[in-house]
Structure 1
Amino acid sequence: MFLSAILIQTGYDLIPIDFAGIPLNILEDRAFLRVKAWMNRGEDGTVLSNGADVGGERSSVADSLQIFYQADNVFTQEHLQTISDFETKILSVANFGKYCKADSRSPTNNCSKPLSILRFFDGTFGPTFNDPTFSDIVGKLSAAQNSPKLNEVLQFYLGKEAVINSTTATAKSSITRSMIQFGYPLAGYDEQTGDVDEQQKKVQTFLVENVRDLLIDANENGLSGLTVTYTSGQLFSYLIQSQVIKDLMLAAGSFLFIFIFMLIQTQSLFITSCAVGGILISFLGTNLVYRIILDYQYFGIFHVLSIFIVLGIGADDVFVFNDTWRATAHEKHERLDERLSSCYRRASKAMLITSLTTTIAFIANAFNPMLAISSFGIFSGILVMVNYLSAITFFPCVVIIYHLYFENWTWPCFRCCKKKVEPTNLTDAEKFDGHRKNLIVRFFRGPYYYFVVHKVARWVLLVLSLGLIVFFVYMATTIGPQEEQIQFLKDSNNFQKATNLNLQGFRPSSDDNVIKVYIVWGLKHQDLSACHKTDSKCKGKTVWDDGFDLNPKPAQMSLLQLCKRIEDMTDEENGDLKIRRNSITGKLEVKCFLDRINDFLINEGNDTSLYSPTVDLSLPTSETKMATFMGAHPELYNMSAVSPNFYRYFETGMSYWLNNGYSGVTSYDFREYNKLIGVVNDTFDTQLISNSSVWTFGTRLRYAAITVNTTLQAGKLGFEKGLVTVEAWEKFVNDEVAKLPPSLSGGFQCTPDRGNTWHWLKVQKSLVFSAIQGIIIGIALALPILTIATQNFILGSLATLTIMCVTVTVVGIIPLAGWKLGVLESLNLSLVVGLAVDYVVHLAEGYHISKHTDRRGRLRDMLENVGISVLSGACTTLGASLFMLMAEILFFMQFGIFMFCTIGFSLIYSLVFFTVMLGICGPQNQTGSITPLITWVKNKLTGRNKYDVDCDVCEGHGFRAPVKNGE
């Protein structure tokens, strides 16, 4: 603790908290590395631009605020006016103009209008759609529906059951939505040295301070008959970070419950205070190992669970040692150190077995490729062992101090109530008449013991236990994979409602949350070799494909043909690729910049005021074509300054198209394609447009992408079906790229939008595999550890069988609760073995150390000596987990349910199934003992044979040959 305080004072980031995201990434996955390359293109300092001021103030979307309005019919005059008034109120908040996304068509950076159904009534789409009083709702919406271009836009605002029919004068929808966008860079931002994360924090601060209260009020109280739900990436991030802290405060309730329960059990404020303090200090000690020695730089939302885990496990160790210490009072010991030694040997061994098995179960997660899970497993595993070390070093000192100085001490005001004890010379063991004073101990050694060994009751208990196991085995076979995206909040939470509405509430539209496949050229997989092993935010290094070039004619024509090939696919060819067909045009939705360039250049060549009728400027470009083009625009191109070896003709035509002829008016194509292509200055060919200090021509095309919309919705695709589509796309793109010229041979496909869906599918599969792997590793290692610890194969096997029963029961709870196997469930399952092992191990150890040789005598000793510790440990963990059920973050609540069920069924199976099995077939005498095997192995290693005898003074060997007659 002292070291921690010093490090914190020196500014060391001792607990690198990051609750903003969960790093569930497989770093070696090609889908991850490809998207990483796309998302961070240009981060290496390469200036990527298309001539126009693409990095202007508030030019990129930093956040989008979506507001959902619901009623029986939102398309009424009253409701539309209410929506208009509410949006106006948001647009009028302080400093909105500093943070809104700028309208790229506005020369003065005016705020872009919200995307809203209101745009069909305010003249945005022309005078036909100018109805500020909403007097002709049916007419305006019907006109939009009948317009091919506007109909596609309109679909975004219509609920699934919406009806717009001019014949019946109907305009009805139970839901609509608006989207208000906020932008960065903000004023004064340096694109080369600025921190985008810092920019987003400023946007988040603005939203929290100026907009959030308006949204909360509308959500809680409604708006004139409208139900309001909202969502925003920055507001969601703010909620999660603040909610984690609030839910973490529930640990205070768990702490208080454990403190009170421990106080009742130990009947000592001194022992309880020291024990709980030791548990909390073990958390700090663990963090020092985790952060400083192992150099982990991530402490996330999953790590918070370790607080609840250590409270339960730490209390269990305290009860084991304290109850063992009390039990030694019933034995004859000549001296205090002899009594402590007896207690220490038994308790430390029992705690070691449980701590070791629990640690192994947690550490098994270290092999998980995802940082959030592997780091949590390592942290929790270390925590369990640090707590064990504290329990065997610090707590014995506490017990001895209490025994010597406080055991007979009473609060002054209660001393008059304390019964006087007559002086006696009896030892601690002789003060008792053979019966324990503790009610629970008497119950376990008496009524419960006779019940579980009763010739009828035991078989009834066994049949009931087996029936319960069979039921949960069946339920476990019905478990299915989670197809939806990870859910952080309960269904009743505003943000979760908004997520569900986005996925399920609206008609298909061009702005749907569909998976978009990018086919990319110019980039290679991101280089992460310089990143710290635990730095989830490291962007890595961009690796460019220097061979990428679209100037060769075969390259242009091949890429055009590829676009055409995708657009003209038959339904059979499109089967596994799932490309979406436009509901209006009927064509497959492909966004190919070469198609647009080709159309633009053809139209340019048809301008008879600039070119002769025989001029052909269509792709592929050539020196002759582009020389004619450039010569027709002397105001832009100084042909006398163009080198005879000029090469970048394709890029010259591309830049003219993208920048709308350098007119200063942003075109639709610029907004649609600017992010899909990037250029960099060429050493030899790049020049400024005449009389311009901004625009250039002759740049080098650095990267380019074409995009394809699929029918698949992000967040609603499971890995079993999804990975089939991934492999279909991988095969298709690889096959097509193999046919392209060498300058296009480096193309690949990826899905950078919507959280990298292709990668997320592989993460889902990995999570399921890791959960199964963790269970198998935990159980596989439990058997040899328990067998060696109890030195009996039968006892170890029965204990392992019990752990397996607990595990399959918890797995069966998932479908029983209506859940599927997703991120949260997989993580919880990886912890089941670690949490399930404690109680059966304590009981097995109690059976093993019994001085009796028959199974009934051993069983009774086990229940008498260990039963109270098992019950106490279970009660504290069950009580602690109950507080987690009140958490707002779904994972915390779900973990509380998992923890409660795991501990509850561990207690049931341990005290019922395992105990009954011991009463029926528990090992007697030396049956199942591995002691002879251990002895044989030891003798083989030391060279001792069967004729040697023990010897205390034989040069450290401990044995010698027998003495012969006459020697």
Structure 2
Amino acid sequence: MEPEEIVHKKSVGEYIQLIPERISQSVEYFFYYLGLKITRHPKRWIIGSLFGVALCLVGLYRFRQEKNPLKLWVPPDSDFLRDTEWLISQFGEAQRLETFILTGDDILTANALYELNEITKRIIAAQSEDDPKVAWTDVCFKVPIITKVNTREKRDIGDLDDDFFDEEPAVRMNKTGFEPSVHASSKTYCSIFNSFQKGCLFFSILDIWDFDSHLIRTQSKEDIIKKLNSTLLSPTLGHPMNYSQLLGGVTRDASGRIISASAVKTEFMVHVNFSNINMEEMGNDAGTADWATKDVLSWEFAFLKNLEQSKEFLKSREFDNQTLNLWYEAGRSFGDISASTMFQDVDKLSIGIILMFFYVQMVLSNFNWVEWRFGLSLIALLCIGAAFLAAIGICSLFGVPYGPVHSSLPFMLMGLGVDDTFVMAASWEQVLSEKSNRLRPLPEKVALMLSHAGSAISITSLTDVVAFIIGTSTILPCLQSFCIYASVGVLVTFLLQVTIFVAFFMMDARRIEEKRNGAIHCIVHSNYQAPEMGSKNSISWNFIDRLYSKFVLTRPGKIIILAITIAVASFGGLGSYQLEQWFDPVWFLPKDTYLSDYLAVRSKEFPERGQPAYVFLSEIDIPANFPRILDLVDDLRNLTYIESVNSWPHDFADFVNVYYEKDMKTRLIDSDKFYFYLSKFLFSQRGGKFQGNFRFAGNLICGKNTPRILIASIDFSFMKFLTPYEWIPAMDESKRIVSEVKIAGFKTVWSKMFASWVTDKVIAQEVTRNILLALICVMGMTTLLIAELQTCFWILLCVLLTLLDVCGFMFYWGLTIDIVSCIGLELAVGLSVDYAAHVAHAFLMARSEDKKLNRKSRVLTAVRHIGAAVTYGAGSTLLALSLLIFSKAYVFRAFFKIFLLVIVFGLWHGLLLLPVVLSTVGPRSLHREVKVQEKELQTFKKSTEEASIPLNSK
């Protein structure tokens, strides 16, 4: 007697065991019903789906590409973002540095300095190509030229009454040295100071010879050395200068004098007005541009072009038996090169798409004119393209910006979409392999195909969607936006595959039945005979059958596969343990660019230069807290990772102590006196350089007390760090010291490099968190859709092992945990789920050939039907990305490496390890006996009013 014919009350356990079967049957019935609807009216479904896509494209009206680096790469709740926006709003302006380096065996020769001077003069004279012309004087940062004060006699500037001083310190002049701002008449000094012309600020050793080419050529080696070592003030600007800081590869004699150098740098300071910057216009598609106005960018372009021409000129000449070379960068260099590099490989990607089209064509087609499926292959890819555009439209409609890393999204969608296509093609072969099915009408056969494939691709697609939705909880804006686009894109890809593609599949299958040519449909091949479907005629079927029956599913084969899996996992675990969190923006630069060459030379010739940083104090009573500010600076100086501190508080305190005999380090001074002394200091030769460190509640006027201080900053420099394990603690410790100082008001530490360091700090936590959440969602979603706990566990195990191996071999391949790999690993979760889920689902749906619980037979049935499709899907993804191995862009090279690792390890665990496990301890089939299914199917047939057959019976 059939077990289902025995009437008895089912236990709770039996009802629980029926849940996976009920879910599976419900999903199959749904897709069968959907397939019948589509195949009856394919053109209606095509038009309706295209109309839906067109509605989604309306959202493109609100399309916005995010170009602001702060809104792409920095966590929105980070103090760096808060501080940067505060600085831009409060200061409204900044300086921007342009640099070039001249190298040679010894650049301290007359000929080398002459060439340097000629290059410098050409840069100063350079103008932009755009109208209106932009010259150096239009964009430079200007400072007063105070050389006249230094050369004026003391008696010439001290002969007027001074109503600014409460006391006249001239009696101490001989003890302290002459300081015009203190010792001179205030009226005379300020009238002279206010009459000073302003000159462009740039730093060059040619300043010593007043940029006079004729004078430079007449200098002997000894003249050059003598003037270089003795000049302490800029002859052209009158400001103190340390020219040795502009030299690299320095050689000194026994007395400490500089006698030769292999490099000299020249730095141009450019003024940037933040109020005139619109990052939507000035930014680049990669989101790596720095803040600059249009006129600054135009001049920088002329600056770079001039230096490129000078570099070529120097290559053709030899000076003093040495070869001079030029290396340079501008503020726009990193943004220009990183953006062009990221998008210059579009041609390679286009070729990859074309190759994948032919690949899909080869997989879907048989080698005859009727079964060449040109149109169907094209539709498969067009569905993916339409899904990508629809995702952009939908996300734009809801205000989600498009980012630079989204350029990888089409390839992920192709990997998933083409995989779905191959699964449906495999299901079609499975349907036709059964003789009873081949006698059915074409709409029913296509509906059966969708019923078999629909549940498989819905499991993988929906798990991917949920995994990406969880990824949107990340704190990194670019990754959050990417996950939103990815989740929408995967969902739309799935919907178009089960609607448009199925409708076209129906039309293409009808074309084949009518024996029409695959390329020119009006041609009919009347002699065409459809090939016999079945295991004997399928190359992939026979290959898989032999591979698995002769090796994989044998006892020695299982042992070998398990041993290799354990060994690789151990090796991967070791690599994962050593995988570092580290991202260097320089990786965005190809090695053969002028900027990467410049950075290499700078690192070699000026190795000790660290990253500049600033302490900002606002809403603080500076006079009342001045001793604490001094203590704060001392604490910073005592930190081992602080290279130097340019402390105006200490210089100011020394200034007041020397010229007014007031000890500000130990006692407070009332506000009037403080602002009086501060005015004298800021208009002195010693303190004038610190004017830019203050923002006052009014204008700073020579001869009057300074207004109340709104913002004060203190400059310092970190040491040169090599790894995140150095710069992250340095950043955190400096922030801690400033935050804990007992001063009421706003205080913070800021550095431009904090943008990268903050991301470095959180990226490892983000990767771990996102992957764990994605895995939880994968487990939850597969449990919901499959409802067979043992199978869900094995799928999860395969995904975990894949991720472990991918992370481990990322270390051996030179990758780190950064923004790019974070996105890559997010994609890895989705791709690795697909490989295991398809095989596991096929195993659950398969019945053994002997109608008994024969796991080995069911595994063979599963891999015969789905193994080739999974492999083809992985191959299509790899083929589309294959040309990226030749890319110069770090982003694309990293994506290729991660995708290759995911494909290799995903296929290993999904097609080899999982069949070994399932053939040994796999769960039972989800199908009961045919008689029960026939009874249930009658109800389904009445509701659909369509003739049908048991979906999974033979």
Fold shared per TM-score above 0.5: yes
Q: 1:886 to 1:28 in 2, by over 3 A?
A: same
Cα deviation, residue 290, structure 1: 0.8
Aligned equivalent of 1:766: 762
Aligned equivalent of 1:269: 374
1:48-71 residue CA offsets vs partner (Å, 9 max, x unmatched) = xxxxxxx8xxxx53x432223344
- Tell me how far apart the structure 2 counterparts of residues 155 and 900 of structure 1 sit (CA, whole Å): 50
- Tell me how far apart the structure 1 counterparts of residues 313 and 546 of structure 2 sit (CA, whole Å): 58
Aligned equivalent of 2:399: 295
The letter of the residue matching 1:370 is L
SS in 2 for 1:367: coil
- Tell me how far apart the structure 1 counterparts of residues 297 and 617 of structure 2 sit (CA, whole Å): 32
Aligned equivalent of 1:565: 631
Aligned equivalent of 1:785: 781
Aligned equivalent of 2:540: 440
- Picking from 150, 153, 162, the partner of 2:242 is 153
Q: 1:375 to 1:105 in 2, by over 3 A?
A: same
Q: 1:322 to 1:220 in 2, by over 3 A?
A: farther
Cα deviation, residue 83, structure 1: 3.0
1:629-664 residue CA offsets vs partner (Å, 9 max, x unmatched) = xxxxxxxxxxxxxxxxxxxx754654454356xxxx
Residues 59, 396 of structure 2: 8 Å contact kept: no
- Picking from 615, 638, 658, the partner of 2:682 is 658
Q: 1:212 to 1:322 in 2, by over 3 A?
A: farther
Residues 387, 496 of structure 2: 8 Å contact kept: yes
Is 1:313–2:420 an aligned residue pair? no
- Tell me how far apart the structure 1 counterparts of residues 334 and 552 of structure 2 sit (CA, whole Å): 53
Aligned equivalent of 2:845: 849
The letter of the residue matching 2:396 is R
- Tell me how far apart the structure 1 counterparts of residues 563 and 572 of structure 2 sit (CA, whole Å): 14
Is 1:549–2:548 an aligned residue pair? no
Q: How does 1:688-837 map to 2 (within 5 A)?
A: 700-707=707-714, 709-713=716-720, 716-718=722-724, 720-737=725-742, 740=743, 745-751=744-750, 753-755=751-753, 757=754, 760-837=756-833
SS in 1 for 2:711: strand
The letter of the residue matching 1:351 is I
Q: How does 1:82-481 map to 2 (within 5 A)?
A: 82-94=115-127, 95-97=134-136, 99-105=138-144, 112=200, 114-120=202-208, 122-123=209-210, 132-133=216-217, 135-137=219-221, 140-141=224-225, 144-145=228-229, 153-159=242-248, 161-165=249-253, 171-184=259-272, 200-208=293-301, 211-212=304-305, 214-215=307-308, 218=311, 222=315, 224=317, 225-267=323-365, 268-292=373-397, 294-296=398-400, 298-331=401-434, 332-333=436-437, 334-406=440-512, 408-410=515-517, 420-421=527-528, 432=532, 434-435=534-535, 437-481=537-581
- Tell me how far apart the structure 2 counterparts of residues 73 and 335 of structure 1 sit (CA, whole Å): 88
Residues 679, 700 of structure 1: 8 Å contact kept: yes
- Tell me how far apart the structure 1 counterparts of residues 448 and 351 of structure 2 sit (CA, whole Å): 36
Q: 1:347 to 1:575 in 2, by over 3 A?
A: farther
1:491-546 residue CA offsets vs partner (Å, 9 max, x unmatched) = 343323333444454153xxx33342404122xxxxxxxxxxxxxxxxxxxxxxxx
1:572-615 residue CA offsets vs partner (Å, 9 max, x unmatched) = x966564435xxxxxxx34134x455555667769xxxxxxx99
Cα deviation, residue 810, structure 1: 1.0
- Tell me how far apart the structure 2 counterparts of residues 219 and 876 of structure 1 sit (CA, whole Å): 45
SS in 2 for 1:885: helix
Aligned equivalent of 2:73: 24
Moved more, 339-348 or 701-710: 701-710
- Tell me how far apart the structure 2 counterparts of residues 235 and 615 of structure 1 sit (CA, whole Å): 47
Residues 795, 923 of structure 1: 8 Å contact kept: yes
Q: 1:519 to 1:312 in 2, by over 3 A?
A: same
Q: 1:97 to 1:784 in 2, by over 3 A?
A: closer
Is 1:922–2:927 an aligned residue pair? no
Aligned equivalent of 2:35: none
Cα deviation, residue 769, structure 1: 0.5
- Picking from 30, 37, 40, the partner of 2:89 is 40
1:286-330 residue CA offsets vs partner (Å, 9 max, x unmatched) = 0111110x311x322111111221222221122222222232112
The letter of the residue matching 1:474 is L
Aligned equivalent of 2:45: none
Residues 261, 876 of structure 1: 8 Å contact kept: yes
Q: 1:78 to 1:810 in 2, by over 3 A?
A: farther
Runs (5+) with no aligned partner, structure 2:
1-49, 128-133, 146-194, 235-239, 284-290, 318-322, 366-372, 929-935, 944-954
- Tell me how far apart the structure 1 counterparts of residues 592 and 375 of structure 2 sit (CA, whole Å): 44
Residues 19, 244 of structure 1: 8 Å contact kept: no
SS in 1 for 2:126: coil
Aligned equivalent of 2:6: none
Moved more, 141-150 or 362-371: 141-150
Cα deviation, residue 401, structure 1: 1.0
Aligned equivalent of 1:520: 617
SS in 1 for 2:588: coil
Q: How does 1:606-645 map to 2 (within 5 A)?
A: 622=670
Aligned equivalent of 2:171: none
- Tell me how far apart the structure 2 counterparts of residues 199 and 471 of structure 1 sit (CA, whole Å): 48
Q: 1:259 to 1:411 in 2, by over 3 A?
A: closer
Q: 1:834 to 1:19 in 2, by over 3 A?
A: farther
Cα deviation, residue 475, structure 1: 1.4
TM-score (norm 2): 0.74
Aligned equivalent of 1:945: none
- Picking from 695, 708, 721, the partner of 1:678 is 695
TM-score (norm 1): 0.73
SS in 1 for 2:266: strand
The structure richer in helix per residue is 2
Residues 251, 260 of structure 2: 8 Å contact kept: yes
- Tell me how far apart the structure 1 counterparts of residues 112 and 788 of structure 2 sit (CA, whole Å): 76
Cα deviation, residue 831, structure 1: 2.8
The letter of the residue matching 1:920 is T
Q: 1:439 to 1:74 in 2, by over 3 A?
A: farther
Tell me the percent identity.
Answer: 15
Cα deviation, residue 343, structure 1: 1.4
1:66-124 residue CA offsets vs partner (Å, 9 max, x unmatched) = 2233444444444433333333333333343454415423589776364234334x247
Residues 107, 113 of structure 2: 8 Å contact kept: yes
Q: How does 1:1-20 map to 2 (within 5 A)?
A: 12-16=61-65, 18=67
1:720-758 residue CA offsets vs partner (Å, 9 max, x unmatched) = 444444454344334432xx5xxxx1142312x333x2x
SS in 2 for 1:132: helix
The letter of the residue matching 1:736 is V
1:547-594 residue CA offsets vs partner (Å, 9 max, x unmatched) = x434xxxx44x41x234435656xxx966564435xxxxxxx34134x
Q: 1:847 to 1:483 in 2, by over 3 A?
A: closer
- Tell me how far apart the structure 1 counterparts of residues 756 and 391 of structure 2 sit (CA, whole Å): 31
**Superposition RMSD on alpha carbons, in Å?**
4.2
Is 1:838–2:834 an aligned residue pair? yes
1:452-495 residue CA offsets vs partner (Å, 9 max, x unmatched) = 12332332232122212211111111222327456312334332
The letter of the residue matching 1:275 is A
Aligned equivalent of 1:609: none
